Amino acid sequence: MGERSTDANPPSKSTCHTDLCCQDHQTQQETAKKSTIKDPVQLSWTISGMDCPSCAASIENAVLGLEGVSQARVTFATERLLVSAENLERTSDLILKTIRELGFSVKDDEPSPASTLNSFLLKYWRILVLAIITLTAFIEPFEGDLLFYLATLWGLYPVTTKAVKLARNGTPFSIETLMSIAAVGALILGEMAEATIVLLLFMIGEQLEAFAAGRARQGVRKLMALTPQTAHRIDADGNRTEVSARHLKPGDIIEILPGSRLPVDGELLTPNASFDESALTGESVPVEHDSGQSIMAGALSVDRVVRLRVISEPGESAVDRIIRLIEEAEERKAPVERFIDAFSRWYTPLMMSLAALVALIPPLAFGQPWTEWVYKALTLLLIACPCALVISTPAAITSALARASRNGALIKGGAALELLSSVTTIAFDKTGTLSEGKPVVTHVEPFTQSVQDVLCFAAAVEFGSTHPLAKAIVSKAEEMALELPAAQNVEAKAGLGVQGTVNGQTVVVGSPRHLQKCIDPSAQQKLINLEDQGNTIAVVTVNEQLVGFIALRDNPRADACEVITALKAMGIRSIMLTGDNPRAAAAIAGQLGMEFQAQLLPGDKSTAIAELQHGGRVAMIGDGINDAPALKTADVGIAMGSGADIALESADCALTHNRVTELANLVDLSRATMRVIQQNIVLAVGSKALFLVTTLLGLTGLWVAVLADTGATALVTANALRLLSKRQKY
């Protein structure tokens, strides 16, 4: 049934996926956009029966043409129809009627069959009847022609009916149209047996495409099934009530039983609980969490009953965001996919024109037999079906996106996936990306104040900051049981430091580069000595007077060296871009065996990325606010899942866990995806070219053309499905 969508924004305008969709699609979009809508509502349905992106485009075109609909988007990957419309009840009924008229169904309306046999007969009864009549016609030669004629009419009726409905709703060049013309033409020519076989093969091929499409969406379906529909909510009196997961709001307390999954994101209230997060992060070992930590929706409670406080809005859990990204990815097409879309817009009309010329020119100009050349023209029409070519790219990309999400990586579209396959350089932020992101204070060097005073001033202005260095300073002050004074007018400047007022004095905590004017020659030597030991230095000043240095050290991640080695083996250059001092940066880079650039402000990182792009495509991976400009500048921006929200929004990809080794697997997956797409295009186009030649030479006929098209579609889809089971190399 239709329901109000939880998306904050109305569905965005979709683009036509293939020339099997309407030529007037753009005109409909513009007309709908100009219409005035009063009190629009957002509706959502789950559609079944879509075999390829052309089916999604057909539904989208038809719904867009309905009165009262302002926007419509069909996502093939998740089988969802999202509509923005007025007059909820009237428009909803009209949309459902249109969907059914096109031959598709709404999943919630489908009856549950009583048995597997009944389900099989209900789904395939038309094909079974056609197969029985065709077999009888071959066995009974005396009545064969009549039976073939009846079989053709039986198979032609649903195909032609659907072709007419699609044409009325803006999709004139559908495969059903081509099949109808070919079958009717074969009947006129007296080739009744071939007409019957063509329709039988076509109907079987459609079911094979549906099966293949279902397998391609399998990874996405598993994601959608991760979150349960209900949850046990605990009220103020401690009573448990089972409620719909949609009704949970931030602040609600829920209880999860062992072996159950979280329906929403939550803050753990139970101490020391283990969760299996493999479905979202790819991490096979259960992870132990303490109270206060955030747990993603879809995580499974391993060994005990746990309670959590809901922290995600309805429809905004980790799983919801992943699914939405996959849906949005269909609109961010890879360049190769956009090329195929553009190619398909003129491909089918061109082939229909060519078929007409094949039928007319030889008989009219050279006196050739009409029957022979009309037959060849009909065969050419079937060869013109671009199904294999159209599905070759989206099937591979959908499979790759689903595989990546199961490995703990989100890719925001096919464009990012294609670009990632061709990167020659990857730039890394240091803190929180290459390093553990948990620096500790190793030394405090006081000048005009005591060690305690230096820490008090610094911790007071850093209190509440999420930056790893700030957290380390505050943690050290708490460890020493220091009483922190209140700070006012605190102002943080990315890459520079933080400033505030403490006890009426202006306190600044920043980098040596930013506060160089406050450092005298004697203090400069101490600074150099601390940096030579691999420390990052926070300079503390009070009223522009140096009071001390705080030395911090952040060790490299255990897997950082592994990913740099893997990327080097793949021919990818690695470079660290950091705002840290050159000596601390050199210490980390030396351990990892990579290049580095140090003392970079956020703008400097963007400039460095731009310079690196002169040598090829560049990817950037980071996690902080100061990384956002560089992530945008890079050809592909990759954010660590634990990073700042702005970094995640700026990036093209995101790692939902803290395993940086997934970066190498991501590049490997993108390269494998492009190989599969190239193979699929060669297979689809090559088969068309081969049978075009054999048809014109008279070597192949109608049924071979259909079999070849169905076979090519099945092969390219099966090839794409290999990506779903691709194992991680690193």
User: What CATH number did the domain enclosing 71 receive?
Assistant: 3.30.70.100
Chain centre to alpha carbon of residue 463: 37
**Count of residues for the chain?**
730
pLDDT at 37: 36
Same domain (yes/no): 63, 187: no
Same domain (yes/no): 96, 15: yes
Same domain (yes/no): 419, 563: yes
pLDDT tier for residue 26 given thresholds of 50, 70 and 90: very low
One-letter identity of residue 186 = A
Q: How far apart are CA 720 and CA 730, in angstroms?
A: 22
What global pTM score does this model have? 0.59
pLDDT at 448: 87
Same domain (yes/no): 257, 360: no
Q: Identify which of 500, 462, 455 has the alpha carbon closest to the alpha carbon of residue 476.
A: 455
Same domain (yes/no): 543, 456: yes
Picking from 67, 82, 109, the residue at the C-terminal end of a domain is: 109
If you average pLDDT over residues 528-536, what whole number do you get?
Answer: 84
Same domain (yes/no): 481, 608: no
* Residue 521 counted as domain residue: yes
> Annotated catalytic, 429?
yes
Q: Identify which of 274, 404, 254 has the alpha carbon closest to the alpha carbon of residue 317.
A: 254
pLDDT at 4: 35
Same domain (yes/no): 103, 20: yes
Q: How far apart are CA 277 and CA 262, in angstroms?
A: 10
DSSP track, 251-283: T-EEEE-TT-B-SS-EEE-SSSEEEE-HHHH--
If you average pLDDT over residues 219-235, what whole number do you get?
Answer: 77
Q: Are strands 595-597 and 617-622 parallel, antiparallel or unpaired?
A: unpaired
pLDDT at 42: 62
* Residue 669 counted as domain residue: no
pLDDT over 80 at 178, yes or no: no
* Residue 70 counted as domain residue: yes
Chain centre to alpha carbon of residue 510: 39
pLDDT at 39: 46
> Picking from 210-219, 238-247, 446-455, which range would have the lowest pLDDT averaged per residue?
210-219
Q: How far apart are CA 162 and CA 175, in angstroms?
A: 10
Residues whose CB is less than 8 angstroms from the CB of residue 547 and which lie 6 or more positions away in sequence, other chains included = 446, 447, 448, 449, 453, 454, 457, 540, 541
Q: How far apart are CA 9 and CA 649, in angstroms?
A: 16
Number of independent structural domains in the chain: 5
Q: How far apart are CA 335 and CA 440, in angstroms?
A: 46
Instruction: Give, in degrees to the nearest 5, the angle at Cα 80 between 76 and 85.
Output: 125
Q: What is the mean pLDDT of the chain?
A: 78
State phi, psi for 423 to the nearest 5 degrees: -70, 140
Q: Which long-range contacts (CB under 8 A, 24 or more apart) does 643-649 make?
A: 643/432, 644/466, 647/622, 647/623
pLDDT tier for residue 548 given thresholds of 50, 70 and 90: very high
State phi, psi for 38 to the nearest 5 degrees: -100, 130
Query: Residue 279 belongs to a domain with what CATH number?
Result: 2.70.150.10
Q: Give me the residues paired with residue 187 across strands.
A: none
Place of tokens 């900051």: 465
* Residue 406 counted as domain residue: no
pLDDT tier for residue 222 given thresholds of 50, 70 and 90: low
Q: Which of 265, 429, 623, 635 is catalytic?
A: 429
In terms of pLDDT, which residue wins out, 154 or 296? Answer: 154
Strand-by-strand arrangement of the 300-301 sheet: 287-289, 273-276, 300-301
Q: How far apart are CA 192 and CA 176, in angstroms?
A: 18
Same domain (yes/no): 501, 362: no
> Picking from 376-390, 568-582, 679-693, which range would have the lowest pLDDT averaged per residue?
376-390
Q: How far apart are CA 637 and CA 427, in angstroms?
A: 10
Cβ-contact 66, 30 below 8 angstroms: no
> Picking from 173-182, 239-248, 508-517, which range would have the lowest pLDDT averaged per residue?
173-182
Could you give the maximum distance between any two Cα atoms of the chain, in Å?
A: 113
pLDDT tier for residue 626 given thresholds of 50, 70 and 90: low
Place of tokens 């069909």: 74
Place of tokens 């390219």: 716
Residues whose CB is less than 8 angstroms from the CB of residue 682 and which lie 6 or more positions away in sequence, other chains included = none
pLDDT over 80 at 396, yes or no: yes
Q: Give whichever of 1-5, 24-28, 656-660 has the largest mean pLDDT.
A: 656-660
Residue 283, burial from CB neighbour count under 10 angstroms (0-12, 13-18, 19+): middle
pLDDT over 80 at 216, yes or no: no
pLDDT tens for each residue of 303-352: 789 999 999 887 778 777 766 655 655 555 556 656 666 666 677 778 77
Same domain (yes/no): 475, 524: yes
Picking from 286, 316, 346, the residue at the C-terminal end of a domain is: 316
Same domain (yes/no): 692, 637: no
Percentage of the chain surpassing pLDDT 90? 20
Picking from 553, 582, 605, the residue at the C-terminal end of a domain is: 553
State phi, psi for 295 to the nearest 5 degrees: -120, 135
Query: Residue 427 belongs to a domain with what CATH number?
Result: 3.40.50.1000
Query: Residue 483 belongs to a domain with what CATH number?
Result: 3.40.1110.10
In terms of pLDDT, which residue wins out, 182 or 456? Answer: 456
Cβ-contact 75, 110 below 8 angstroms: no
DSSP track, 90-127: HHHHHHHHHHHHTT-EEGGGSPPPSSHHHHHHHHHHHH
Same domain (yes/no): 11, 102: yes
Q: For the chain, how big is the Rg over CA atoms in Å? A: 32
CB atoms within 10 A of CB 577: 25
Q: Give me the residues paired with residue 426 across strands.
A: 574, 619
Q: Are strands 230-234 and 80-85 parallel, antiparallel or unpaired?
A: unpaired
pLDDT at 215: 58
* Residue 666 counted as domain residue: no
If you average pLDDT over residues 114-141, what whole number do you get?
Answer: 75
Same domain (yes/no): 182, 155: yes
pLDDT at 625: 59
In terms of pLDDT, which residue wins out, 678 or 729? Answer: 678
pLDDT tens for each residue of 40-78: 556 678 787 776 666 777 788 888 888 888 888 787 666
Q: Are strands 536-542 and 545-553 parallel, antiparallel or unpaired?
A: antiparallel
Q: Give me the residues paired with residue 275 across strands.
A: 287, 301
Q: How far apart are CA 17 and CA 338, in angstroms?
A: 9
* Residue 225 counted as domain residue: no
Q: Which helix (H) or strand (E) segment is 355 a member of?
A: helix 335-366
pLDDT tens for each residue of 6-23: 333 333 333 333 333 333
Structural domain of 146: 117-218+331-397+676-724
pLDDT over 90 at 392, yes or no: no
Say which DSSP state 373 is in: H
pLDDT at 507: 93
Q: Give whichever of 671-680, 683-692, 702-711 has the largest mean pLDDT.
A: 671-680
Place of tokens 């649903």: 158
* Residue 377 counted as domain residue: yes
pLDDT at 28: 39
pLDDT over 80 at 130, yes or no: yes
pLDDT over 90 at 452, yes or no: yes
Percentage of the chain surpassing pLDDT 70? 79
* Residue 667 counted as domain residue: no
